[in-house]
Amino acid sequence: MGQRGGRQEISKKLEMALREPMKAEAKAQNNEEEAEELKAKVQTLASVFGVADLKNEAIGLYNVGHSCCLNSLLQVFFMNIHFTRILRRITVPLYAEQQKKNVPYQMLLLLEEMQCGKQKAVYPIALAYCLSAYKVKLFVQHDAAQLFLTVWNLIKRQMKKPELVEELNDLYTICIQEHLACQKCSFEEKKNSSMLTLPLPLLDSNCRMLETLKDCLQYFFHPEELTDHNMCFCDQCGRKTPFRQCMKLIHLPQTLTIHLKRFCFEKAAHIHKLSHYLPFPQDLDFNAVLTESQCQADDNEKAGWQYDLFAVVAHSGSISCGHYCAYIRSLTERKWYCFNDSEVCQVSWDDVKCTYGHSNLHWGETAYLLIYMKKHPQWPYP
């Protein structure tokens, strides 16, 4: 599995693709020294693009300024060989200043260091400083769901190749259809939208605890009656009327990220952590979870709605004083590993189940992000 392996020889085609724009730049500057410098960059980039994916040991990441949240998410990104397949084909910035501020490139360099290094862990300092330029600060308690969205959007925005952006979208994006129907007339509004996570509430509208992941999914897609102060303005009726709101699932991606909303607001804007027991399965079939009325997809789409659990990002502690780690199942070995900053060890499924939560252990470790992978990927492993 791991992140360390033998270097693969870079193809001539890729080497030429990297060399040609650099030669053109050097010629434009009419500077022999610059041409030599650019030639050296090509040789350096060859080693970056030539690394092999996930062959031997797993490598940890040192905590640099409360970076446990970032470290956990990076390990989830890097252990996903569908993502690294995209990352290894990015357009590399030519200039040093551009490289320092380019998130995908800094991730690529960190991945190379993790794969080719000899130590048990590496420091993600360059990437951390790169992210700080985009207001992702060190020494701050980050929320894993929000940080995932921030990093993912930075990756997408800084990828120059349209085909890679499309692949990234296909890999992570969920598509739903929102329905709004007036209960006083025939007016109905439909709107398609996309999201990167399924943000599942753990409490129902009466503040009762939902007991399983299946309950949370069904509640998320359950129709909601908008009445009283929640009524919407109906153009056809010319006034505010009761509406029925629901969401229907259109498309699920290769890598599905589920956000268990364990942090909720109480009175006086106090944020409380929900630590209650919430089991989740290793195998998830959306066809067995959602009803026909909750889906807007054809049979071909639904045929790919079977998933295996790939990773769990777990949180321990409180909202103001917490810690993250990641449990990830190798896509090559099919074994579970715990990535706790610089410490990495093999674990069992029983260890992963300890993140289900417990009502009496408010500071205990609880699953916060669940990452599922399609059983039948749409493209082969690289």
**Residues 162-168: contacts with CB within 8 Å, 24+ apart?**
164/86, 164/89, 164/90, 167/86, 168/86
Catalytic residue among 68, 116, 130, 182: 68
CB atoms within 10 A of CB 28: 9
The two tokens of residue 132 are: 């700080």
Catalytic residue among 82, 259, 276, 323: 323
Q: What separation in angstroms does the CA of 246 have from each of 108, 179, 221?
A: 40, 5, 6
> Does residue 69 have an active-site annotation?
no
Spatial CB neighbours of 87, under 8 Å, sequence gap ≥ 6: 104, 107, 108, 111
> Does residue 68 have an active-site annotation?
yes
Q: Which residues are catalytic?
A: 68, 323
